[in-house]
Amino acid sequence: MKVFAGKLLLFFVLLFASDYLLGLVVNNYHLKSENINLQNANYGFLGPINEDVLFFGASEVSHSFVSNRVTKQTGLSSYNLASDGCGIYYQYPLLETILDKHKPKVILISAYQLTQDNTDYITRMYPYYNNNKYVKNTVDHIHSREFAKLTLQGYVYNSQIIRIFDGRNNNEKGYVPLPPKINKPKNLKKLELQPGDNYPISEETKTYFVKFVEKAVENGVTVYVYMPPILEKINKDYLNKVKSLTESTGAKLIDFSKDQSLLNRRELFNDRIHLNHEGAEILTDKFIEVLKKDGIY
Amino acid sequence: MVFTSLNFLLFFPAVIVLFYITPIKYRWLTLLIASYFFYLNIEPVFGLLTALITLSTYYFTRQIDNTKSEDKKRKFMYINVIIVLLPLFFFKYFTAINDGVFNFLEAYDIRWVLPKITFLLPVGISFYTFMAIGYTIDVYNEEIEAEKNIGIVALFISFFPLILSGPIERANNMIPQFKSELRLNPKNFAIGLKLMLWGYFMKLVVADRIAIYIDTVYANLAQHNGDTIIFTSLIYPIQVYADLGGYSLIAIGVSKILGLDVMPNFNRPFFATSMAEFWRRWHMSLITWLTDYVYTPLSFSFRKYKVQGIVIALMITFIISGIWHGATINFVIWGVLQGIFLSIEAILNKRRTKIESTYKLKSNFAYVTFFIILTYVLFSISQVFGRAVTFEDSVLVFEKAIFERGPLFLDKTTLAYSLIGVIMLLLSDFRDEYFSGKLLLFDNKYFPIRLLSYLFVSLLILWIGILNGGQFIYFKF
Amino acid sequence: MERQDLINKLTTIFQTTFEDNSIVLTDELTANDVDNWDSLTHMILISTIEKEFDIKFKLKDLNKMKNVGALIAIISSKIN
């Protein structure tokens, strides 16, 4: 039995050691990754960020705001920090990390975040867990047992290896242009809006969203809460909730969910939620107009 | 707590420690307590159900042994079988039947008295119910004496490695083992841990990875083209094999560590050259159960009708197998298909074996390969009904497969990781099937090679296994 | 019936059911040793035996037929 126990111990020691070494190697490539989501996460959590206009959200933001266009027309530096599929539990520690070292002039946060009810995307922050107290706090709060599993590098970088090497070269300050789709699914050709889902917002999500906006506002940032133009009818209940949350925090609501100048032009959309590059340029221009009206530049 | 949860990884070592410090005489009791703890942790209320089934089974099996009258014995057997089947029937099929009646009457504007209700299915009920029924029938058939110790009966029905997904064990294998002197020893530890490691590999690296992809396609059938759907349906059997097969290996490994030998559930099913052979290699504990307790009695009753009797017995057995898997029309169709395949094979069997022996086809590479592929494809086709949730979806699958062509939807992550896992799994089975004893890794005689193999597989599980919900295939429609 | 007569009659039944005139019955012979003898053809065999020996088996008897020797014993007990 002793021999067996010895062999078992040897196995575990070697497992932890090889896992750790593999982690060092992968971490190195992770930092250099050209995958746009990983790049944005790296830039956001490791920085240093010093842009004046920052965009937060998931894919409904990453394809919709052309940071370079903002810079060209307003002279303000800009970065689109949006990351596919990431909800408010990603955005909040990201904001805290950035505000530690820099106060941007403007932040846009998508209210579409509030519909994200599952928390699986927090795995995107695992590579920063051990070095970032804000990430650690949020992860520990949402999934209390993760700290044990995160001692294993394989768990931190689980399934990331292919993604780390799957990227593109041109990062347009975080913005990801979608080329207009030629063959679109049939139901986009119809002009009526589809009935939207009912979006319940969990208390936890609400809390974090309010914390996000309040934290930005108390750091002197002008915060815009963004309702995207989507080809699903957003229900009144959800819209009102977003409105009241925005008003209670001192942020401004920019609501494109009923903007017919966008919604009527199907050629600007690639699917029900995502604008293509043509649509993004138009939307960015509209946002720039808001900035001008509010005296930001 | 499922095998792949952190809770189980804490629970099991604790059980081993408790087991170790318990005097041998009472180790079965430790296992019983652990099993109820395990089950109550998942389904507190349904632990009561398990206990009730145990009480009923204990009482009636003892009655069968204590009665002399043949008629009374048979009556006791039937009563317990019905009692034990009632919860299964109720939880699994009540909703389906009630909904069916509701919808049927609604078409005629009649309001059915009962509302549509959904019940949460008690986890494991399909498995331990069958074990209890098997035990009852075995006592009646004098295969085993009714166990006098109710604790042992309770343990047999609730034994935690088996209670969630089998293998569906037999009383005459498990009860003598539970009553024997259970010991821990290094050899059993080594064998058990190896089985568990490979089981976790199959489940986490292969099954759960493929599942994400297949779920994405089947959840959006309308958006995917026929070629993608064909590809998805062809790899679905691999997912099921890796999932249930992997889980079974973990169950068998856990039992082995505790000194118990549990029957295997899979025997490299994809090397079968006929559907009959396939069913002797796939989910073996279920099939042998159905053969012994359903097919044999049925075919025995119908033996006057010769081949027709056999066909009817096959059809009924596999329809029961179908609805055991799920309470939908799709599973009935699935069962019917298996019955049809096997009936055709049964009828043609004599002719086939004659041709095979005349031309020595069994050692002909092309012949064997052709039938391996044919068997696999037939099974994949029947599995569409096992995967698609509604009948309409199944129809859609076949419609698109036949008429719609297009580019294959497959993301790099899924492709890369599942390729590694699937190739390793199939190569391992291939080696065991045709080169048994050679090119061993887990069982290599040199410790360093074994150690490297364990490390490699463990690292794969950690780095590319599905360990959390943070995986999704991003597909923009 | 003499045991040897029983065995002769049984041999004929086996050879006909499994279409193999080379089958020789021994006590240890099981389904694994005979081509085509599986759970499907087993019932045909049983049915034929019942007819030829004018006996009736019970389901319980089936489970006790582990090999040909046991089968012969059960047939014997039913004839006498």
Looking at the fold, whether B138 and B214 belong to one and the same domain comes out as no
Q: Which residues contact A26 (CB under 8 A, 6 or more apart)?
A: A153, A157, A160, A161, A164
Whether the model clears a pTM of 0.80, i.e. scores above it, the answer is yes
Handedness of CA A192, A197, A198, A200 (dihedral sign): negative
Contacts of C75 (CB under 8 A, 6+ apart): C6, C10, C49, C53, C55
Amino acid at B367: Y
Chains C and B share 3 or more Cβ pairs within 8 Å: yes
Q: What is the crossing angle of helices B27-42 and B44-66, to 10°?
A: 130
The more confident residue out of A270 and B62 is: B62
Q: How many domains are contained in chain C?
A: 1
The range of the structural domain enclosing residue C15 comes to 3-79
Domain span at residue B160 reads 6-183
Residue of B296, B308, B345 to mutate, testing the C interface (most C Cβ within 10 Å of its Cβ): B296
Which single residue is written with the structure tokens 């078409």?
Answer: B107
CA-wise closest residue to A290 among A222, A214, A218: A222
Q: Which residue has the higher pLDDT, B353 or B443?
A: B443
CB contacts < 8 Å between A and B, how many?
Answer: 85
- Cβ–Cβ gap C59/B300 under 8 Å: yes
B167 with B218, same domain: the answer is: no
Which of the four pLDDT bands, split at 50, 70 and 90, describes residue A67? very high
- For residue B1, being part of any structural domain is answered with no
Query: What does the alpha-carbon distance between residue C44 and residue B300 come to, in Å, rounded to a whole number?
Result: 9
Mark yes or no for CB contact B454/A270 under 8 Å.
no
Facing B303 at nearest CB: one of C43, C60, C63: C43
Q: Which of B183, B211, B243 is the last residue of a domain?
A: B183
Q: Are residues B49 and B67 in the same domain?
A: yes
Contact (CB, 8 A) for B299 and B291 = no
The three-class DSSP label of residue B45 is: helix
Is residue B142 domain-shared with residue B233, that is, in the same domain? no
CA of C41 vs chain B CAs: smallest distance (Å): 9
Range 435-454 of B in CB contact (< 8 A) with A: 447, 451, 454
Regarding whether B291 and B350 lie in a shared domain, the answer is: yes
| Catalytic residue ranges of B | 325
Q: Is C40 on the interface with B (CB under 8 A)?
A: yes
B468 contacts A158? CB cut-off 8 A: yes
Residue B56 lies in a domain: yes
Comparing alpha-carbon positions, the chain C residue that sits nearest to B292 is: C63
Checking if the pLDDT of A187 tops 60, the result is: no
Task: Supply the DSSP symbol for B183.
Answer: -
Closest C-alpha to B425, from B249, B191, B228, B287: B249
Query: What CA–CA distances, in Å, run from B340 to A2, A136, B276, B318, C36?
Result: 56, 58, 11, 9, 19
Q: What is the CATH number of the domain that holds C50?
A: 1.10.1200.10
Report chain A residues whose CB lies below 8 A from the CB of B464: 158-159, 161
Cα–Cα distance measured from residue B26 to residue C76, given in angstroms and rounded to the nearest whole number: 46
> In which band, very low, low, confident or very high, does the pLDDT at B476 lie, cut at 50, 70 and 90?
very low
CA–CA separation, B271 and B179 (whole Å):
37
Count of structural domains, chain B: 2
CA distance A254 to A247: 12
Residues in chain C: 80
Per-window interface: B 206-225 vs A, CB < 8 A: 223
- At A225 the three-state DSSP class reads strand
pLDDT at B113 over 80: no
Give the residue from B183, B198, B221 where a domain finishes: B183
List, for residues B176-223, the tens digit of each pLDDT value.
999 999 999 999 999 999 999 999 999 999 999 999 999 999 998 888
Q: CB–CB of B310 and C47 under 8 A?
A: no
Do B123 and B249 share a structural domain?
Answer: no
Q: What's the one-letter identity of residue C79?
A: I
- The DSSP H or E segment spanning B395 is helix B391-403
Using the Cβ of C36 and the Cβ atoms of chain B, whether some distance falls under 8 Å is answered with: yes
Q: What residues of C are in contact with residue B350 (Cβ under 8 Å)?
A: 19, 36
Distance between CA atoms of C25 and B264, rounded to whole angstroms? 32
Residues B120 and B194 in one domain: no
Q: Which of B4, B31, B14 is nearest to B259 (CA)?
A: B31
To which residue do tokens 């609400």 refer?
A: A206
Please check whether residue B198 lies inside any domain of the structure. Answer: yes
B42 and B100 co-located in one domain: yes
Of B153, B183, B213, the domain-final residue:
B183
Q: How far is C79 from chain B (nearest CA, A)?
A: 20
pLDDT digits (tens, 9 = 90+) for A270-295: 888 889 999 999 999 999 999 999 98
Give, in order, the Cα–Cα distances in Å from A92 to each of A181, A250, B11, B285: 33, 17, 35, 51
- For C4-35, write each residue's pLDDT tens digit: 888 888 899 888 888 788 888 888 888 877 87
Judgement on whether residues B332 and B280 belong to the same structural domain of the protein: yes
Instruction: Give the chain C residue nearest B345 (alpha carbons).
Output: C40
Q: Does C62 touch chain B (CB under 8 A)?
A: yes
Is the pLDDT at A234 greater than 90? The verdict is no
- Contacts of A278-284 with CB under 8 Å at 24 or more apart are A278/A180, A279/A64, A280/A63, A280/A64, A280/A65, A280/A66, A280/A175, A280/A177, A280/A178, A281/A66, A281/A69, A283/A64, A283/A65, A283/A229, A283/A256, A284/A64, A284/A65, A284/A66, A284/A69, A284/A70
**More confident call, B103 vs A165:** A165
* B339 in the same domain as B204: yes
> Which residues in B lie closer than 8 A to residue A149 (C-beta atoms)?
6, 467
| C26 to chain B, closest Cα gap in Å | 23
| Exposure class string for B49-87: b at 16+ Cβ within 10 A, else e | bbeebbebbbbbbbbbbeeeeeeebeebbeebbebbeeb
Same domain for B421 and B439? yes
Co-location of B141 and B213 in the same domain: no
> Rounded mean pLDDT of B431-440?
89
